[in-house]
Amino acid sequence: MQPQDPLLLSCILLSFYYTIAKDIAPPPPRVQLSFRELKASNTAHFLHFLLNTTDYRILLKDEDHDRMYVGCKDYILSLDLQDINREPLIIHWPAKQQRIDECVLSGKDINGECGNFIRLIQPWNRTHLYACGTGAYNPVCTYINRGRKAQASDHTAPPGGRGSRAADYPPSPAPAEHKDYVFYLDPDRVESGKGKCAYDPKLDSVSALINEELYSGVYIDFMGTDAAIFRAMGKQAAMRTDQYNSRWLNDPAFVHVQLIPDSLERNDDKLYFFFREKSTDSPHSPTLYSRIGRVCLNDDGGHCCLVNKWSTFLKARLMCSVPGADGIETHFDELQDVFIQQTQDNKNPVIYAVFSASGSVFKGSAVCVYSMADIRMVFNGPFAHKEGPNYQWMPYTGKIPYPRPGTCPGGTFTPSMKSTKDYPDEVINFMRTHPVMYNPVYPIHRQPLLVRTNVNYKFTTIAVDQVDASDGRYEVLFLGTDQGTVQKVIVLPKDDLETEELILEEVEVFKVPAPIKSMKISSKRQQLYVSSVSGVTHLALHRCDVYGEACADCCLARDPYCAWDGKTCSRYSASSKRYAEG
């Protein structure tokens, strides 16, 4: 009987997964538009400038300056948010030829690795940006004047686009009287990007520039084995996670970073990192866990132990799973993207996260939603403890040192301790060995908002818009896929925590299908900005006329953006008299 047990278990699991797939099969989209149909609708704008580049990433959306900044291989683009084809400003910033040659000699691919892939663009001040690229496996950073005009030089942009060449390095900057208006890279301020940007363009990094200090989740070595949450620049000391300590980070893939205040006291401010990593419990298996980690902004490290290393770093597991009738849970453990939905209370945003599962038996995607109250409860709960490698994780039951590990200095609970260097050694030692919380963070209602199984795609990105319709407020989800499509989805509540999912629209965004890399949304302009390896586009959040020319078609669409105005299906406006959507 023993040899037959694994086969029996596989059959049970297959039956269980089939039941899940059948029960949560997605409804068909109300409207499907091919790339050609989307283009014909005149509701999308595709970047027309054909640069010899690839791997477009939307790295910064600046609503105050009406600009969007895109990084790609060897180029930085400044695009108009209203029309990305309206005089784009372009900086050409390739790696030096000597560096490219050295990269190729080290065995790297000349096209996919030995270029300057721009991975970081952050606002430095009102006039400048801070940007970093992989630099052909030699990360570099510099400052960019965010001016609205092109530099008068030999342009490398195609006709109609404006820009300056920044290769080895650009011509002299603009005259002093015009500098404030010119979009250009400062060649005299190029500096090392180590600890700020990865060497390998395939390794994603995240960053946040706060008070002239750069916080990054990044691999900081050539081989791509030393991952760290790193602080560089600014007045405070450089800081990182404990090196090669798998309890802290274990081959992570960084997804998002966000500053979320805990209270009105600024010394309580924490930076939250979202990532996935290998499980330390299964070193020889591909088991992954999704994580949320955090550090205090004012962390100074320890005095004797953890010198120049975070002394407030904690992490917890992000759970997104489908509970089965027999108690077995199907986990979506591969965190793909995170969207932070701000509320009137900046201490309590709503967190939307996209997950996938890509096992040999079960594949699918899910969206889970989390509250900051639940997240803080986990970080204030028991710490995970393990006596040795052959023991199970248990909640720590010993005495918790004071101040509680993970507490920020000078904050609400430690007003007399101005620095983590003032913390007792027992606190610092406890932090080094107990960075993991025992309880996981469960989503709201302890189940996903929506699930996709038994489909030929997975979700890669998410953006959320709040829409005021005639019958209330809706959260509209825009979900990018690895097949180059974007779905517009609403989830409606029913009885007993049951919900009804409606796919309002599915559109092909690019002529050549490719996974959606990044998405940004502008409620102010009613636009969604999308990028892939092949380009950038922006499309309207609504295409009400595609639902039909009759009132019934408009109402049955149930699109909260749309309503029947007596003649056509058009954008709902609270100030005008409209019939309800449905």
**Residue-level pLDDT, tens digit, the chain, 582 residues:** 333 444 333 433 444 444 444 455 678 999 999 999 999 999 999 999 888 999 999 999 999 999 999 999 999 999 999 999 999 999 999 999 999 999 999 999 999 999 999 999 999 999 999 999 999 999 999 999 988 776 654 334 443 445 544 443 343 344 444 456 689 998 889 999 999 999 999 999 999 999 999 999 999 999 999 999 999 998 888 999 999 999 999 999 999 999 999 999 999 999 999 999 998 876 556 689 999 999 999 999 999 899 999 999 999 999 999 987 777 888 999 999 999 999 999 999 999 999 999 776 678 999 999 999 999 999 999 999 998 877 889 999 999 999 999 999 999 999 999 999 999 999 999 999 999 999 999 999 999 999 999 899 999 999 999 998 877 889 999 999 999 999 999 999 887 778 899 999 999 999 999 999 999 999 999 999 999 999 999 999 999 999 988 999 999 999 999 999 889 999 988 765 444 333
Would you say 409 and 420 are in contact if contact means Cβ atoms under 8 Å apart? Answer: yes
Burial 442-472 (b: 16+ CB within 10 A, else e): bbeeebbbbbbbeeebbbbbbbbbebebeee
Q: Which amino acid is at 161?
A: G
How much is the pLDDT for 151?
65
How much is the pLDDT for 359?
73
Classify the C-alpha dihedral 283-285-291-297 as positive or negative: positive
How much is the pLDDT for 180?
61
Write out the DSSP string of 405-441.
TTPPTTSSS-TT--SGGGS-HHHHHHHHH--BBSSPB
Burial 302-320 (b: 16+ CB within 10 A, else e): bbeebeebbbbbbbbbbbb
- The Cα–Cα gap between 76 and 151 comes to 14
- The Cα–Cα gap between 103 and 492 comes to 52
- The Cα–Cα gap between 509 and 8 comes to 44
Q: Omega of the bond prior to 170 within 30 degrees of 0, cis?
A: no
* Three-class secondary structure of residue 161 per DSSP: coil
How much is the pLDDT for 148?
74
- The Cα–Cα gap between 137 and 101 comes to 11
Would you say 413 and 404 are in contact if contact means Cβ atoms under 8 Å apart? Answer: yes
How much is the pLDDT for 8?
36
Closest C-alpha to 200, from 117, 142, 121, 278: 117
Would you say 255 and 336 are in contact if contact means Cβ atoms under 8 Å apart? Answer: yes
